[in-house]
Amino acid sequence: MRIAVDAMGGDHAPQAIVEGILMAEKEFSDVEFLLYGDEKQINPLLGDKVNQTNIKVIHTDEKITSDDEPVRAIRSKKTASMVLAARAVKEGEADALFSAGNTGALLTAGLLIIGRIKGIDRPGLMPVLPVIGKDDQQFVFMDVGANADSKPENIHQFGILGSYYAKFVLGIENPRVALLNNGSEAGKGSELSKKAYELLEGDDSLHYIGNIEARELLTGDADVIVTDGFTGNAVLKTIEGTALSLMKLMKSSIMNGSAKAKIGGLMVKGALSEVKDIMDYSKHGGAVLFGLRAPVVKTHGSADKTAVFYTIKQIRKILASSVIDDLVHHFEIQKENE
Amino acid sequence: MRIAVDAMGGDHAPQAIVEGILMAEKEFSDVEFLLYGDEKQINPLLGDKVNQTNIKVIHTDEKITSDDEPVRAIRSKKTASMVLAARAVKEGEADALFSAGNTGALLTAGLLIIGRIKGIDRPGLMPVLPVIGKDDQQFVFMDVGANADSKPENIHQFGILGSYYAKFVLGIENPRVALLNNGSEAGKGSELSKKAYELLEGDDSLHYIGNIEARELLTGDADVIVTDGFTGNAVLKTIEGTALSLMKLMKSSIMNGSAKAKIGGLMVKGALSEVKDIMDYSKHGGAVLFGLRAPVVKTHGSADKTAVFYTIKQIRKILASSVIDDLVHHFEIQKENE
């Protein structure tokens, strides 16, 4: 399998990206990496690996920055590292696209260059999130912002997409799909969520378990949680913000406390960093722009080499599964039955 | 000032309610309490205060439960404690309504019995939230779920409502109003939030500072944060769920850790409970159903006597301010200018 890497995307690019790729290259001998970016910066980081056959550097001077307006950047910066990487996937030279760069631009590149699976109207951005307190349990949540507005039909498709991912990539036999809503009872919700509820409930291919409230999001009661892109974006950022604020508060409470609290703080350092680790969902991989003809995976702009490594591990798992082909098949059959 | 109390609403009613009222009664000699509910249960809790002139018990056998369907309950249970309390406000026998009961029913009672301020289309539910890490700073956030669907005009009015509250009740001179959105730049967002942005920006009476992302919600960058009722509900519940999950995880990490971690855990207990205190926003008062002709304030169903006390303190502050009259005036003038 071949992964096209936007080596210039992200706050610590290309260093963190290349170092992460080197970690992954050691572990996964079946992956070939195509690194798009400035060879003057990348080659020194590769060191003696520069001539290895499983790592290829494709030079370009141009890159997309976090300040670039997405659509304009993708259209005008035709030789940007992200654009070239996306084009490699489109042309079959690579099987998946990885970037830590401008999210909006990556979404645009995915949609305009790689393209949607036939039958999917709106791909969604889908992170894999940890279930708090249950070590090896994860769930997927979408859409966290590929779309600013979603229709009931889009949310229904997010349920199908998430369900396929949970089954074929996470290995969950019969994934429980839930709709994020403002009450747990059927009949609750906005006009949008009520209509989405009906579509999800009417789809026999899904193991739909009904509404879930945001309070229960991290408890593991569902394997796939779907909502519109605006709400999903707000909810994901609220999780991040709340966790960050609380960890900060905890630290400052300990540091500004008594001498006893400070010593105690040192003694619970392990526990604190365990909590931080669990919330650091970069270890669970990146967010997949799902619904495209190939996996496009985004990790945090601030990603370090470890986050890059885990995201490559995730992409490898997606490619090793048949999930994209299965989805293509699902929507072909649906089309035939219409 | 006279507060009508639904003594039968909430998980620990009437005990927690009556005990909280007794705490408040000691502190606030200028408040008269009208307790609606079962006198056989309430009187013994009042003990020797049963004959005090500042506490009056109005007996009723009927009450609304958390399982009741809101609109049906308000219409059919005409002598329920919540309904009688709302009616007392409507008829001028009390100045404000307090309940820890069924939120939907309270919203309905507020709308149908007490009624909206003229010119306000949709009242919103507005909690006062803590700014993490800044002890005495608070902000208001609305709508957290009085409405399942909001229009741009509603969100604009939430900005006006929140601004008045922040100024006249929280004492913030020139409250900064922000719109919760999926990006910080102008021009971002859903169709709804883009239109709300324009209305807020065009209102010279507001100190509008633009978009804020959910990640920055608890940082104190804005004094009033507005959004539609569906997103606000999801965001508030996400804060609660994330904080709860993290505190649990922290505890179990410490308890399942080494002996050292356990001892350390005892030593940081103070810091942990400080964090818990800050997140326990019942101490910041209840959520105000704001935009009605009188204050209607809801505290958590699980509220204990302390939460009841703080909510009464908040209601007293609202009544002592001129905020409702000022709002009535604001919308009268607006009407005249149209």
Q: What is the mean pLDDT of residues A22-49?
A: 96
Predicted confidence (pLDDT) at residue B144 exceeds the cutoff of 90:
yes
What confidence category does residue A333 fall into, taking pLDDT thresholds of 50, 70 and 90? confident
User: Is A266 touching B (CB cutoff 8 A)?
Assistant: yes
Q: Give me the sheet containing A176-180, strands edge to edge.
A: A55-59, A32-37, A2-6, A96-99, A296-298, A287-290, A124-130, A138-142, A224-226, A176-180, A207-212
pLDDT at residue number A22: 97
**B18-64, pLDDT tens digit by residue?**
999 999 999 999 999 999 999 999 999 999 988 888 999 999 999 99
With tokens 């307006």, the residue in question is A69
Q: Give me the sheet containing B224-226, strands edge to edge.
A: B55-59, B32-37, B2-6, B96-99, B296-298, B287-290, B124-130, B138-142, B224-226, B176-180, B207-212
Predicted confidence (pLDDT) at residue B285 exceeds the cutoff of 90:
no
**Residue A43: which residues within 8 A CB-CB, separation 6 or more?**
A50, A57
Q: How far is CA B262 from CA A251, B252, B255, B319, in A?
A: 17, 10, 6, 47
Predicted confidence (pLDDT) at residue B132 exceeds the cutoff of 70:
yes
pLDDT at residue number A264: 74
Instruction: Please report residues of B whose CB lies closer than 8 A to that of A250.
Output: 250, 271-272, 275
Predicted confidence (pLDDT) at residue B315 exceeds the cutoff of 80:
yes
**A245-304, pLDDT tens digit by residue?**
888 887 877 777 777 777 777 777 776 676 666 666 567 778 999 999 999 999 988 889
Report the complex ipTM.
Answer: 0.91
A143 burial level (CB within 10 Å; 0-12, 13-18, 19+): buried
Strand B124-130 relative to strand B96-99, pairing: unpaired
Bridge partners of residue A298, in order along the sequence: A99, A287
Predicted confidence (pLDDT) at residue B221 exceeds the cutoff of 90:
yes
- The distance of B272 to chain A (nearest Cα, Å) reads 7
**B152-174, pLDDT tens digit by residue?**
999 999 999 999 999 999 999 99
Cis amide prior to A14 (ω within 30 degrees): yes
Q: How far is CA B138 from CA A210, A253, B28, B118, B155, in A?
A: 35, 19, 23, 28, 20
Predicted confidence (pLDDT) at residue A162 exceeds the cutoff of 80:
yes
**A212-262, pLDDT tens digit by residue?**
999 999 999 999 999 999 999 999 999 988 888 888 887 877 777 777 777
With tokens 């309490």, the residue in question is B33
User: Is A241 touching B (CB cutoff 8 A)?
Assistant: yes
Contact yes or no for B17/B308 (Cβ under 8 A): yes
Interface test with B, best of A228, A242, A254, A277 (most B CBs within 10 A): A242
Q: pTM for the whole thing?
A: 0.93
pLDDT at residue number A268: 72
User: Is A190 touching B (CB cutoff 8 A)?
Assistant: yes
Question: Average per-residue pLDDT in chain A?
Answer: 92
Q: Between A and B, how many residue pairs show a Cβ–Cβ distance under 8 A?
A: 199
Rounded to whole angstroms, how far apart are CA atoms B161 and B157? 6
Predicted confidence (pLDDT) at residue A203 exceeds the cutoff of 80:
yes
Rounded to whole angstroms, how far apart are CA atoms B304 and B282? 9
The residue of chain A with its CA nearest to that of B274 is A253
User: Is B44 touching A (CB cutoff 8 A)?
Assistant: no
Predicted confidence (pLDDT) at residue B217 exceeds the cutoff of 80:
yes
Contact yes or no for A241/B217 (Cβ under 8 A): yes
Contact yes or no for B248 and A132 at CB 8 A: yes
**A170-194, pLDDT tens digit by residue?**
999 999 999 999 998 888 999 999 9
Predicted confidence (pLDDT) at residue A83 exceeds the cutoff of 80:
yes
Q: Domains (ranges, CATH) in chain B?
A: 1-120+291-337 (3.40.718.10), 124-285 (3.40.718.10)
- The distance of A324 to chain B (nearest Cα, Å) reads 28
What confidence category does residue B284 fall into, taking pLDDT thresholds of 50, 70 and 90? confident
Of A149, A270, A279, the CB nearest to B191: A149
Contact yes or no for B138/B287 (Cβ under 8 A): no
Predicted confidence (pLDDT) at residue A135 exceeds the cutoff of 80:
no
What confidence category does residue B85 fall into, taking pLDDT thresholds of 50, 70 and 90? very high
pLDDT at residue number B261: 74
Contact yes or no for B231 and A227 at CB 8 A: no
The residue of chain A with its CA nearest to that of B272 is A250
pLDDT at residue number A194: 97
The residue of chain A with its CA nearest to that of B249 is A133
The residue of chain B with its CA nearest to that of A150 is B190
User: Is B180 touching A (CB cutoff 8 A)?
Assistant: yes
Instruction: Please report residues of B whose CB lies closer than 8 A to that of A190.
Output: 148-149, 230
What confidence category does residue B281 fall into, taking pLDDT thresholds of 50, 70 and 90? low
